[in-house]
Amino acid sequence: MKNKFICTLAVAGITMLTACSQNTKQEAQIQDNTSGKPWSVRMVESEMTRCPESWQLDFQPKLKWDYCHGLELQAMLDVYDRYGDDNIYKYALAYADTMVNEDGTIKMYKREDFSLDRVNSGKFLFRIYEQTKDEKYKKALALMRSQFEEQPRNEDGGFWHKKIYPNQVWLDGIYMGAPFYAEYAFRNNEVGVYKDVINQFLMAARHTYDPKTDLYKHACDVSRKEKWADPVTGQSQHSWGRALGWYAMAFVDALEFIPQHEAGRDSMIITLNKVVEQIKRLQDKETGLWYQVLDRSGDEGNYLESSCSVMFVYSLFKAVRKGYIDASYLDVAEKGYKGVLEHFITTDEYGLISITKACAVAGLGGKNYRMGDYNYYINEQIRDNDAKAVGPFIMASLEWERLQEVRGIVK
């Protein structure tokens, strides 16, 4: 049935980069009700239609070993695990099979770059290896695990974000590295690794926390040498929504694999509770969403941004479900999820859904130097169906759908 649906769309001239028409929340909700499919499934099917080959995800014109592929494909496999549909599994497998060579090396992956971003790409391979038992995936996982052995560190043990960003700790990087590191340790009985994983979270909190705003900044240059870094604290200028979103998701994903008795795990949960307090405080009261630049929420030029909003919603839902935070945060998550559906989700005439208003990218330093000032963040490209919004939307929707099932509500 799904293949027939895709063929119909192809005949209609739908391409990977077709812009979706804008519909109201009511129209989208009607389509959702009449389709009988959960939002998570609809987004997966929409992405598979927009990107017939899985390597095309995140607007890629050629092969790339990218953290966005890992993010989306892992979310898709979550949908496969919950609802079935072999087409989803085959779609993820196709990327794995294309990118991983028989000897376990990975196309476009350079270990010597020591980029934490490239590690996140491989998280979905844990389940691909489980399903296939193909040794090349086991070797690929071991290859990425070996990166941590030589990943450059600061004196306190915190990983550099990348080799080209010396002494820098980015909240983004905690998500890119720590959950993979924790899951590999769990699956391979590397009990000594948990201490190192926990340290990455607590180290990042120490370096990026700003007591003046009671928020975590995007990043910190521990050496205080970068132009974007505060000369006293080393911190970047602002609290970027998606950076905090990455950090929040890293907590709820990594904690799953860290044994409850492990020293320092309680400190992780205390820090997570500090993060969710910030998320709750900064939620827009009218829409239930969050701004691109958190410490300038509501200011002129700032905007409600989809990727951080869905990341926060996912993290809150999961943290409540796992018992890491108080159940009262469920109200914050539900308001946020409904706000996402109302303000960011659109449906086109073919029934494909899109998520709008995502910041395409934001960073610090680099060749085209980024100072991380307010104008920089609010003027970066905004686009629809960015993988960094799509993946977390799928994951947030799965949490929402699980909650409805527990409540006995039929979707």
Angle between helices 241-254 and 171-187 (to 10 degrees): 10
Q: Which of 66, 117, 172, 221 is catalytic?
A: 172
Q: Based on the number of CB atoms within 10 Å of its own CB, is 200 exposed (0-12), middle (13-18) or buried (19 or more)? A: buried
Q: How far apart are CA 403 and CA 360, in angstroms?
A: 30
Q: How far apart are CA 94 and CA 30, in angstroms?
A: 33
Q: Based on the number of CB atoms within 10 Å of its own CB, is 310 exposed (0-12), middle (13-18) or buried (19 or more)? A: buried
Indicate the DSSP class of residue 10. H
Q: How far apart are CA 411 and CA 16, in angstroms?
A: 29
Secondary element (H or E) of residue 359: strand 358-359
- Is 331 catalytic? The answer is no
Helices and strands counted in the chain (H then E): 16, 8
Q: How far apart are CA 144 and CA 123, in angstroms?
A: 10
Q: Which amino acid belongs to residue 301? A: G
User: Catalytic residue numbers?
Assistant: 172
